[in-house]
Homo-oligomer: A and B are copies of this chain.
Amino acid sequence: MNQSSASGRKRQPEVTQRRLLDVAGEIVGEDGVAALTLDAVAKRAGVSKGGLLHHFPSKQALLAAMVETMADRFMRTADELGEDDPDQRGRAARAYVRTAFSEPDTEIRRWAALSAAFMSDPNLLDGWRERLREVRARDREECADPIAALVARLAADGLWLADVGRLYDIDAETRSALAERLIALTR
């Protein structure tokens, strides 16, 4: 969308904010976090610099919102998968594993680009930590064996790390055997 059409109609602030976050995600996914400047985001989104600063007063604020958005999307996907799961026992942990194993490549690239940012500023993960506290509370309620569920969650996190850091060469067959094994741990 070019600048004239963007300014040509009345937009809700949430729509603009969402668009800025989408564009920021595209930039880091394509060119890494070093390419993420407020100017680049404003230009690509067809939003004035002032309009951008209204939503995100700093690059740090933008990064925080990006991590929050990705964490939110991950946990929402997990929630939806959980709702479709007829077996209540270990449901949240199983949905977490399934979500981790089905993260699309575009999302992995964004996580990879952002990981350097949240590793150097642990505050960016505050929202994620809060969500993990909630899901572990659910595990304790709904899992026959909460330790096994935690093993499954940690292994899913390890797979995330392997994907983001390209650590292991895990072929499709091994990947699917792994998923099956972790899902079994949640039952």
Contacts and interface: CB of A to CB of B under 8 A. Distances in A.
A158 B147 contact: no
A184 B166 CA distance: 27
The secondary structure that dominates the A interface is helix
Interface in A126-185: 128-129, 132-133, 136, 147-148, 150-151, 153-162, 164-170, 174, 177-178, 181-182, 185
B169 A133 contact: yes
A168 B157 CA distance: 11
A33 B6 CA distance: 41
Given A151-B155, A158-B155, A129 B177 contact: no
**What band does the interface of chain A fall in when counting residues whose beta carbon is under 8 Å from B?**
35 or more
A1 interface: no
Residue of A118, A122, A132, A165 with most chain B CB atoms under a 10 A cut-off: A165
Contact of A166 (B129, B147, B159): B129
Q: How many copies does the complex hold?
A: 2
Nearest to A159: B154
Contacts of A12: none
Contact of A181 (B148, B156, B157, B158): B148
Given A178-B150, A182-B151, A122 B157 contact: no
A161 B34 CA distance: 23
Contact of A178 (B33, B115, B117, B147): B147
A149 to B, nearest CB: 11
A120 interface: yes
Contact of A162 (B118, B147, B154, B177): B154
17 contacts: A32-B120, A34-B120, A112-B122, A119-B165, A122-B165, A125-B167, A128-B167, A129-B166, A129-B167, A132-B167, A147-B178, A151-B151, A151-B178, A151-B181, A154-B159, A157-B157, A158-B158
